[in-house]
Amino acid sequence: MKELIAASLKFQAGKVRVLDQYLLPHQEVWHTCEDVASMQNLINNLQVRGAPLIGLAATLLVAYLAEQGANKQALGEAINALEATRPTAVNLKHCMDTLRQALRQTQYVAAIVHRAEQLFEEDVTLCQRIGEHGVALVDEGDNILTHCNTGALATAGVGTALGVIYTAAQQLSHLHVWVDETRPLLQGGRLTAYELARWQIPYTVLCDNMAAALMAAGKVDKVFVGADRIAANGDFANKVGTYNLAVLAHYHDIPFYVVAPRTTFDATCAHGADIEIEQRSHTEVTGVSGSFGECQWAPENTPVFNPAFDVTPASLVTAWVFDSGIYHEPNFATI
- Point out the least confidently predicted range of 225-229, 264-268, 284-288, 327-331: 284-288
**Would the pLDDT of 167 be above 80?**
yes
d(CA 157, CA 53): 9
Q: Give 309's Cβ-side CA count (13 Å radius).
A: 25
**What pLDDT does residue 297 have?**
92
What is the maximal distance between C-alpha atoms in the chain?
Answer: 62
Domains of the chain: 4-128 (1.20.120.420), 136-327 (3.40.50.10470)
**What pLDDT does residue 294 have?**
82
**What pLDDT does residue 289 have?**
74
**What pLDDT does residue 83 have?**
97
Residue 231 CB-density burial (10 A; 0-12 exposed, 13-18 middle, 19+ buried): buried
Instruction: Name the band, by pLDDT with cuts 50, 70 and 90, for residue 40.
Output: very high
Q: Is the dihedral of CA 64, 69, 72, 78 positive or negative?
A: negative
Catalytic-labelled residue, pool 228, 266, 310, 323: 228
**What pLDDT does residue 275 have?**
97
**What pLDDT does residue 333 have?**
81
**What is the chain's length?**
335
Where do the DSSP E strands lie in the chain?
4-5, 9-12, 15-19, 30-33, 143-146, 176-180, 203-206, 222-225, 229-231, 236-239, 256-259, 265-266, 287-290, 293-296, 309-312, 319-322, 325-327
Q: What is the mean pLDDT of residues 124-132?
A: 98
Q: What is the mean pLDDT of residues 290-306?
A: 87
- 228 has catalytic annotation: yes
Give me the chain's average pLDDT, please.
96
Give the contacts of 300 (CB within 8 A, at least 6 positions apart).
none
Q: What is the mean pLDDT of residues 51-76?
A: 97
**What pLDDT does residue 335 have?**
80
Q: Are 226 and 134 in contact (CB under 8 A)?
A: no
**196-234 confidence digits (pLDDT tens):** 999 999 999 999 999 999 999 999 999 999 999 999 999
Q: What is the mean pLDDT of residues 172-185?
A: 95
Instruction: Name the band, by pLDDT with cuts 50, 70 and 90, for residue 334.
Output: confident
Give the contacts of 153 (CB within 8 A, at least 6 positions apart).
7, 8, 19, 21, 24, 49, 50, 53, 159, 191, 194, 195
**Would the pLDDT of 292 be above 90?**
no
**What pLDDT does residue 293 have?**
76
